[in-house]
Amino acid sequence: MVIGGGNSGGTATKRVNIVDLKATTPTYTAAASLNYSRMHCSAVILPDRTVFVCGGSGSNESKSNARKAGEIYDPSTDTWTVTASATVERLYHSVALLLPDGRVLTGGGNPVRRNNELRLEIYSPPYMSQTRPTITSAPSSVTYGQQITINTPQASNIRWASLVRPSATTHSCDTEQRLVDCTINSASGSSLTVTLTSNKNLAPPGWYMLFVTDQSKVPSVAKWIQVALSV
């Protein structure tokens, strides 16, 4: 997914393009445009499968044209919804990181070169005010293709179990960001059995946030789990 950006003259765009890497011949196709043109914005995949975009500016590194309002993309409807506004401008060299509780931490930026922004803000997506499923226990490590048990009182109402890799953002690009589904094999009273992908390219070894998400697309607080070559 490529979001916003700008030309050498410093004019930002609203354009959004998405590539489906499962296609036989993957190509970028246009998606719904942003509500606001943005350069140097940040994008975060949320555990409910939407994408939160924040920060940036309508022109180059202009603080006066900073985009304080966030917006959320829903791939199921190809729509963008404007959400809460920040109080701090986030321009070049800013970051946005998903936290294990499902909120998003924003920080950084240099509104004037060599004048670094040190304040932090936290955005709470709409699901934070909903009744959320819980993970009471889960393994601390897992290997490829392994079946594990996740204990949750809401087992019968869980729609997805997923691994979200910690962010590593730089220059409005996060090459570490990924959400990987775990196949739900069965659900009984208070537990799920799920199987991790066997594809190391989809989920490289390392630490992940394990979320369960209910039928209303409301996610739990995450548990940290390590994907290892062997356990």
Domain range annotation of the chain: 2-128, 130-228
User: 223: which strand partners?
Assistant: 210
Two domains, one topology: 2-128 and 130-228? no
**If we measure between CA atoms, which residue out of 230, 160, 231, 225 comes closest to residue 192?**
160
- The residues assigned a catalytic role are 92
Cα–Cα distance for residue pair 214/97, rounded to 1 Å: 23
Residue 197, pLDDT score: 96
Structure-block tokens of residue 132: 């959320």
- Assigned CATH class of 130-228: mainly beta
Amino acid letter, residue 204: P
pTM of the model: 0.94
Contact between 138 and 227 under an 8 Å Cβ cutoff? The reply is no
Query: φ and ψ at 108, to 5 degrees?
Result: 80, -165
Amino acid letter, residue 5: G
Q: In the chain, which stretches have pLDDT less than 50?
A: none
If phi > 0 it is left, if psi is from -120 to 50 it is alpha, else beta; for residue 205 that is: beta
Contact between 212 and 191 under an 8 Å Cβ cutoff? The reply is no
User: What is the chain's percent helix, strand, coil content, to nearest 5?
Assistant: 5, 45, 50
Average per-residue pLDDT in the chain? 94
Structure-block tokens of residue 70: 């966030």
Residue 171, pLDDT score: 83
Residue 9, pLDDT score: 74
Residue 230, pLDDT score: 82
End-to-end CA distance of the chain: 34
pLDDT in tens, 172-216: 888 889 999 999 999 998 999 999 999 999 999 999 999 999 999
Amino acid letter, residue 123: Y
Enumerate helices (H) and strands (E) in the chain, giving the number of each. 0, 19
Structure-block tokens of residue 46: 């949320």
Arch. (CATH architecture) of 2-128:
6 Propeller (2.120)
Cα–Cα distance for residue pair 173/105, rounded to 1 Å: 16
